[in-house]
Structure 1
Amino acid sequence: MTNLSRARLIAILVPNALLWGAIASQYLGHLHPCEMCLWQRWPHLAAILLALGAILLRRTPGPSRALTALAALAILASGAIGLFHAGVEQGWWHGVTTCAAPPVSGSPQDVLAQIMAAPIVRCDQIQWSLLGLSLAAWNALLSILSGSVILWLISKSR
């Protein structure tokens, strides 16, 4: 397996694992995401799409390398957002002032009932941690590490 193939493999597997892990923690673990949690998901989705393009273009090394590098940058972007979020959770700096709530619909009475029943999720509170690291910190660590490894592998593939 070439370094570029390894880079493409990491670029597709890591954001998939992190994105599906976040979705599973939301729907199976009942951990409601805050606004910054949701921000971290979008770059992973972009990385998945870019990595798929790189895989489809694997027979043309130049474009495949470029798409893989863009996927790595998207993964690094999610890691940067995760690092910022982890800092907010630790009180190192201030975060956003909005809270996340599910979308509401129906009659005015239904909307009011849904709003009143919706969980308020603060970005500065850790809902779950493992080995002292929050989900945002784990995303930052894994994303920055894997994005860096992908870029290193790409540089070695030339």
Structure 2
Amino acid sequence: MLSNRNLAVLIGVGMALTVGTALAFEHLGGYIPCALCLEQRTAYYTGVPFMIGTAIAAPHIRRPRLVQAMFGIGALLMIWTMGLGIYHSGVEWGLWAGPTDCSGASSTVSQAGNLLESLGQRPPSCDQAAGRFLGISFAGWNVVAAALLTLACLYGAFRRQPAPRA
């Protein structure tokens, strides 16, 4: 059975690889993210250190419910970014309207757009996918990654916890 520590490390690495891939496409591939793309990364920026903390704390926590709650928080973060990815993918496919000029969805989106503009880059429109791989946009791939990471977190949250060591 996979220990809580190892599961948290595995989830944290998965989160880091996901956001690292997005950053590589941006900085090495030259793909400029739109404001919704940037907002989707927030869950990973929060989740990676949280899962590292979970990995460090889990072996020392004697209350299984607390460890389960920590994995549950990881699942909520991934569900949040998955929801944003679904929304963003729908905007890209023209299924529903997106935020006006990519700045109307939330204050975070507005701040991200303003940051890019202050750096001399006009963020691309949220309704135009920067690229598609196997027919799926970056936002769509975020949904796939977040769904897998959500399942891993839910496994940690709902599995039978090993008995604490004496």
Q: Please report the TM-score for the alignment, with normalisation by the length of structure 2.
A: 0.79
Alignment: residue pair count:
147
Residue 66 of structure 1 corresponds to which residue in structure 2? Answer: 69
Residue 13 of structure 1 corresponds to which residue in structure 2? Answer: 13
Residue 82 of structure 1 corresponds to which residue in structure 2? Answer: 85
Q: Deviations over 1:104-156 (max 9, x none)?
A: 37xxxxxxxx4xxx344010001111110001000011101221232024312
Cα 1:96–1:55 change in 2 (3 A) is same
Query: Do structure 1's residue 98 and structure 2's residue 112 form an aligned pair?
Result: no
Most deviating of 8-17 and 57-66 = 57-66
Question: 3-state SS of the aligned residue for 2:101?
Answer: coil
Q: Distance in 2 between matches of 1:3 and 1:58?
A: 9
Query: Do structure 1's residue 157 and structure 2's residue 142 form an aligned pair?
Result: no
Q: Distance in 1 between matches of 2:92 and 2:21?
A: 20
Query: What amino acid does structure 2 have at the position aligned with 1:8?
Result: A
Question: 3-state SS of the aligned residue for 2:100?
Answer: coil
Most deviating of 69-78 and 55-64 = 55-64
Q: Distance in 2 between matches of 1:80 and 1:11?
A: 19
Q: Report sequence identity in percent.
A: 25
Q: Distance in 2 between matches of 1:145 and 1:2?
A: 17
Q: Distance in 2 between matches of 1:85 and 1:7?
A: 29
Most deviating of 2-11 and 132-141 = 2-11
Contact 1:86 1:137 in 2 (8 A): yes
Partner of residue 145 from structure 1, selected from 148, 152, 158 = 148
Contact 1:26 1:33 in 2 (8 A): yes
Q: Distance in 1 between matches of 2:44 and 2:11?
A: 10
Residue 4 of structure 1 corresponds to which residue in structure 2? Answer: 4
